[in-house]
Amino acid sequence: MSALIAPSMLSADFTKLADEVRMVNQSEADWFHIDIMDGIFVPNITMGFIVVKAINQLAEKPLDVHLMTVHPERYIEQWRDAGADHITVHYEACTHLHRVIQQIKLTGARAGVAINPHTPVQVLTDIIEDLDLVIIMSVNPGFGGQNFIPRTYEKIRELSSMIRSRGASTLIEVDGGVTVANTAKLVEAGAGSLVAGNTVFNSENPKETIHLLKNAALQNNQKR
């Protein structure tokens, strides 16, 4: 089974957003990845409920919503109502992380936690069994188009080992700097989902690029 591919809508052309959504629908992508930024937790502001609802009206695949915001617990239900199938909050933004995870699950959404590049995976030891997914940030959050941080490979391996040792089924997602060239190595390390923004939307043929990402991940699995 290949890794999941989640094009990041942050990199889409918002002047033709409906066309971009339809392209992802028609591609081999598995999820829509949607980055929500508040200008406080990260130095950027992106989309709100109205835009996510609009995407959801056209989307034929799950919405993977990544909250890069302070106090994410204030709006969990609203993001679910907007169409989020998965809701991921940042470890660094939650004082009462376990409570927020339970809040997400009560809405019926899958619950995830993201960790920044400087945050060790060991902080998730006491909650890993409760998580449906973990996003390992492979760039500093806030902007697309950044260079991949190589230390990410080791963090994926460390987290994968933790998940196996605890008998959990948590999915590892990697967000930032994902390319066709590093896909196989990410999957080999233990990644099960890959977020790709500029790689997809800045390419001449986004559907073909998604195919290449999917194929690179699949070939790696066949070698195991």
Give the amino acid at 165. S
Whether 175 sits among the annotated catalytic residues: the reply is yes
Place of tokens 């993201």: 114
Q: CB–CB of 176/148 below 8 Å?
A: yes
Burial, 4: exposed, middle or buried (Cβ in 10 Å; 0-12, 13-18, 19+)? buried
CA torsion sign for 59, 193, 151, 162 is positive
Q: How far apart are CA 205 and CA 200, in angstroms?
A: 8
Task: Spot the catalytic one: 35, 38, 64, 132.
Answer: 35
Tokens of 100: 């927020």
Q: Is 89 left (phi over 0), alpha (psi -120 to 50) or beta?
A: beta
Among 30, 38, 64, 175, the one annotated catalytic: 175
Is 13 among the residues known to form the active site?
no
Q: Which of 147, 124, 126, 143 is nearest to 134 (CA)?
A: 124
* Catalytic residue ranges: 35, 175
